[in-house]
Structure 1
Amino acid sequence: MRRLLLLIALVLSACDAPAPTSAPVPLAPVPSGPAMSPASAQAAFSRVSASLRPVAVNECQRRTSGMRCDFRIEVDPNPRAPVNAYQTVDKDGRPVIIFTRAMINSARNPDELAFVMGHEAAHHIRGHLARQQANAAAGAIVFAGLAGLTGGNASAIDAATQVGALVGSRTYSKDYELEADELGTLITYRAGYNPLIGAHFFSRIPDPGDRFLGTHPPNASRIQVVQRTAANLGLVQ
């Protein structure tokens, strides 16, 4: 039982232990000019949504079978929500991409909005949400079973279940992000935006490094995926 608790403690501590960050990767230069005002950013968000949504729908229909592809792109109603964009599904199973106002206002140009939007659409097309939920369920079952085999009581089994779900959900999390960056680059490009400019977003967010069980890969790895995918599309810096 003590060994199990020690394992749980080690796993939880490892989730927060950062590794050295990767070296920065040069990106395409950003077009000169002032950053967008909040009003311009909101207008750009509407234009980008209108341009990118049909591309995302087409990619989804072409690459999947039986998956809902009728994306909704919305703004989080909470005006104080922090910088964030995410993909989810509504109660009817329709895919939804949500941007907070802070996220929209933090974008320097429409290309960044398009890249983030394409990335979130790619998460749905690749089935990452369902795969992550399945991984979490499997991890919970395995850890709960181990706790039971070692004589754990109800409290210990519950704790092991939660840790197992955490470990399971993060097992392939970084791979999913890179997959979404790759497909997101393609969607961004086909929607008429420059993913090499859009990926400058990575240069302004904290680098998570290559943490064990981290949720996101190093920024440099993500930029390299964008550059490689863009080169395959014939887009040069």
Structure 2
Amino acid sequence: MSDFIAPADRDILARHGLDSFDALWTLRLAAVDEPNTNRGGWSSVFRLDLGDAAYYLKRQSNFLSRSVLRPFGEPTFAREFRNIRRYQALGVPALQAAFFGARQVDGEHRAILVSRALDGWRELAGWLDLWRGMAAEQRSAILAAVAGLARRLHHAGQVHGCFYPKHVFLRDTQTGFEACLIDLEKTRPLLLGRRDRVKDLEALVRRADAWGVSEVRELLAGYLERPQNSAEVDDWLARLARRRRDKEGHR
């Protein structure tokens, strides 16, 4: 695969001499956290500020995922990049890729993924920390935005696979909240219908500790586009509770 550079980012990367794989690989930056070494290689994330533009530069070496189609493995960024492009084509709001490239150097699998920083956005987990001090109207607007994002995702035939509060980002606007997704590595097509949809939503709700039953009901009403006291919402509440019990029973 040849290197990808988003047209909107090509000029700014070129002005800073960062429009090539080698330049991005050798650029010295401080990592924003400890490298991930779970897969036998490593993967690191760096903040990249270029004047008025901000990005996150991710580099990895021998950090591979394997599948039936790729039994010998490929960099996890390759799969995430494909999913970013798929979301873009399907109209599902998500992080935007500025650059992607992969190389094999003396048997080492290297990959780079640069995405635009979500400055001005805050992860849902951060909003949940403030939940009890927020006005009811603001809480409802957040629930509506998250419900709309989940509905759009599933209507596009996709399952996120890690639909967690830390992977949902929100931005306050004059007309409400916008929502988008990050961390698309585990995204896959929605193949099992309602079962897949319940799986995504239960993963979100289980980690949203600030939400009670009333908030979950409001979320489901927005997702299903049904009244909060409808039989459909009651049914989905029961399905989420049953999946949660099943998950907890297998611990």
Q: Which has the higher contact order (CA 8 A, sep 6+)?
A: 1
Shorter-normalised TM-score: what interval? under 0.3
Q: Which of the two has greater strand per residue?
A: 2
TM-score by length of 1: 0.28
TM-score by length of 2: 0.27
Q: Which of the two has greater helix per residue?
A: 1
